[in-house]
Amino acid sequence: MSPTLHSILAFVQTWWVELLCAVLIVLVVPLVAGYIVLVERKVMADMQARLGPMRVGPHGLLQPIADALKLLIKEDLIPDNADQFIFWLAPVLSMTAALTSMGAVAFGPWFQVARDINIGLLFVVGVSALGPFGIVLGGWASNNHYSIIGALRSTAQLISYETTAGFALVSGFLLAGTLNVRAIVETQRTDQAWYVFLAPVGFVTYLIASIAETNRAPFDLPEAESELVAGYMTEYSGFRWSLYFLAEYANMIVVASVGTTLFLGGWLRPFPNVHWLGWLDAAPTLLLVAVGAYCVFRAGKQPARVQSMFMWAVAFGCFVVAAIFALAAPFRHLPLQFMHDGLYGAFWFLLKVSAYIYIFMWLRFTLPRFRFDQLMRLGWHILIPLALINVVDVGIALALSSEFGVNRWLAMAITTGATIGAAMLLLRWNDKHAAAASAALLADSSVAEGTHAG
C-alpha cells in the first residue's frame, strides 16, 4: 500500500466522527433550511390568521421539496455584460462561508466538526464575516443598478452590525472566560446560570445585531421587494438563487447557534444541577410521543388516503425517535453515557435554536421595516455605544465579584441597571438628534424635488 493511501486511511480512521459530522452538515443543512422556510410560511400564516401552504403534501409538508425541484429545473440565466467568473463565484462564497462557520458550532456535546479548537466561537463569528463578500460581489457582477445599490446597502448594514455583535459576544466571553465552545457550555453548567440571566443586555444586543446580520426584517431593506426588486439577488435565478437563499437561512442557524451556545446554555437542560427537576430529562420523549399522538389523531381526519398514510408515517417516525430517546435514558450512568448525553444535548440545543429562530420570525411579521438611514443610525449611534458600555459594565461586575468578593448576581444586577440607564440616556439623546436629522433629510429631498419639478 502506498504511503499516501496509508496516511489518508489513517487520517480517516482517526477523524471519522468529525468527518461524519461534516458530511451530515453539508447534506442536512440545505434540507433543514428548506423546512425552516416552510415553518416560516406557516408561522406567518398563523400570525395573519390564515393557513399557509396546505396543498403540497399533508399540511404542506412536501412544499420545500416541490420548491427545490422547481428551482433546480429553472433556466440558468446570466446577464449579458455580467462578469462571468464573479457571477459564478459569489453565491458559492456565501454558501461556503455559511457552511464552514458551522464547522465549529457544537450541536450537542458530541456533534462538532472542529473540536477543541482554542478559538471556538470566534472562528464561527469570523468565518461568517466572509458572507458579505458573496453579497457585494454578486451585486456588482450582475451589472444592474438595483443589484449594486442593494449589495452595497446590505454589505454596509452587515459590517456595521458585526461590530455590535462582536461586542455583545465579548460580554459573554468575559463571563465564560474562554473561547472554546465546549468550555463555554461547561462553565454555564458549573456557574449554574445561563449567561442570558447574568448579562441580559448582551443577549438582547446580540439578538438585535443577529437579526441585522442575517438581513431579516425589520432590517431587510436590501432585499425588500417593494424597494429594490430583489436587491443583490435580482439577476440570479434557479440554482444560484437557491444557493444565496440557503446561505441566508444557514446563516440564521449559525447566529442562532452562537447565541444559544453563549447565552442560552447550549445543550444543557433547564436547571441542569437541580436534582428535583430531574424529571425534565424525560421531556424529549414525552414531547415526541405527544407529537406522534397528535399526528395519529389528525391522520383520521385527512381527506385523501395518501395523506393519512403520510401522517401515519410521520407519527411512526416520531414514536421511533421517542423510543430511541427512552432507550438511551437508562444509559445515563453506564459506559454508553455519550449516547445519552449526545442525544439529549442535541435535543435541547435544537429546541433552543428553534426558539431563537421563532423569535426572528415573530419579529419579521410584527415590525415594519427600517429605513436605511434609520438602520445605520440605530447601529452606529445606539447599539455600538450600548454594546461598549455593556462590555465595560460586565468587566466592572466581574472585577467587583472576584476582587472585592461581591456576590456575582448582585454585581451583575447593579451593572446591568447602569447599562440600561445608559441605554435610556442614549435613546433620549438620539431622539433629539434623529428628529432633526430626518427633518433635514426630508427637507433636502423635497427641496430637490421642488427645484426639479419647478
Partner 1 sequence: MLDSFIFYFFAGMAVVSAALMVTRRNAIHSAVFLITTLLATAGIFLQLRAEFLFISQIILYVGGIMVLFIFVIMLVRLDVPLPQIRSRTQKWIALLVALAVGVEAGVVLWLARKVPGQGLLIPNAAPADKLPPNTEELAKGLFGMYLLPFEIASVLLLVAMVGAVVMAKKRTDA
The site for partner 1 (CB under 8 A) is made up of 3, 7, 11, 83, 85-86, 89, 117-119, 122-123, 125-127, 129-130, 132-133, 136-137, 140, 148, 152, 155-156, 159, 162, 179
- Counting other chains too, the contacts that 300-305 makes at CB distance below 8 Å and 24 or more residues apart are 302/58
Q: How far is the CB of 357 from partner 1 (least distance, A)?
A: 24
- Pick the closer one to partner 1 by CB: 346 or 398: 398
Count the neighbouring beta carbons within 10 Å of the beta carbon of residue 209: 27
Residue 240 C-beta: closest distance to partner 1, Å: 17
Q: CB of residue 359 vs partner 1: minimum separation in angstroms? A: 26
Closest distance to partner 1 from the beta carbon of 107 (Å):
21
Distance of closest approach, residue 139 Cβ to partner 1, in angstroms: 9
* CB-nearer residue toward partner 1: 56 or 179: 179
What is the C-alpha end-to-end distance of the chain, expressed in Å?
85
43 vs 409: CA distance, rounded Å = 37
Which residue, 131, 349, 159, 138, is CA-closest to 251?
Answer: 131
Q: Output the smallest distance, CB 413 to partner 1, in A.
A: 28
Output 100 or 390, the one with its CB closest to partner 1. 100
Q: What is the H or E stretch that residue 98 is in?
A: helix 84-101
Distance of CA 425 to the CA centre of its chain: 30
Q: How far is the CB of 253 from partner 1 (least distance, A)?
A: 20
How far apart are CB 6 and partner 1 at their closest, in Å? 9
In terms of CB distance, is 100 or 416 closer to partner 1? Answer: 100
**3-state secondary structure (DSSP) of residue 9:** helix
Where does residue 406 rank: exposed (0-12), middle (13-18), buried (19+ CB within 10 A)?
middle
- Toward partner 1, which CB reaches closer, 95 or 137? 137
Comparing CB distances to partner 1, the nearer of 156 and 363 is 156
Q: Angle, nearest 10°, between helix axes 181-190 and 239-263?
A: 40
User: Three cell numbers at 279?
Assistant: 424529571
Residue among 105, 100, 129 at smallest CA distance from 181? 105
* Chain Cα centroid distance, residue 157: 17
Q: In this complex, which beta carbon is closest to partner 1, that of residue 42 or of residue 377?
A: 377
**CA neighbor of 102 nearest in space, from 261, 245, 318:** 261
Task: Give 63 or 96: the residue with its C-beta nearer to partner 1.
Answer: 96
Closest CB to partner 1 among residues 150, 272: 150
CB of 53 to partner 1, least distance (A): 37
Closer CB to partner 1, 117 or 406, in the complex: 117
| Rounded-to-integer distance, Cα 311 and Cα 296, Å | 7
Question: Contact at 8 Å (CB) between 274 and 123?
Answer: no
What phi-psi label fits residue 199: left (phi over 0), alpha (psi between -120 and 50 degrees) or beta? Answer: beta
Q: Cβ 264 to partner 1, closest distance in Å?
A: 23
Provide, rounded to whole angstroms, the least separation between the CB of residue 141 and partner 1: 8
143 CB neighbour count, 10 Å cutoff: 15
Using only C-alpha atoms, the chain has a radius of gyration, in whole angstroms, of 24
Separation CA 48–CA 162 (nearest Å)? 32
Neighbour tally for 73: CB within 10 Å: 9
User: How many CA atoms, within 13 angstroms, populate the side-chain half-sphere of residue 225?
Assistant: 0
124, 113, 100: which is closest to 15 by C-alpha? Answer: 113
DSSP state of 179: -
Q: Compare residues 169 and 318 and give the one whose CB is closer to partner 1.
A: 169
Chain centre to alpha carbon of residue 395: 27
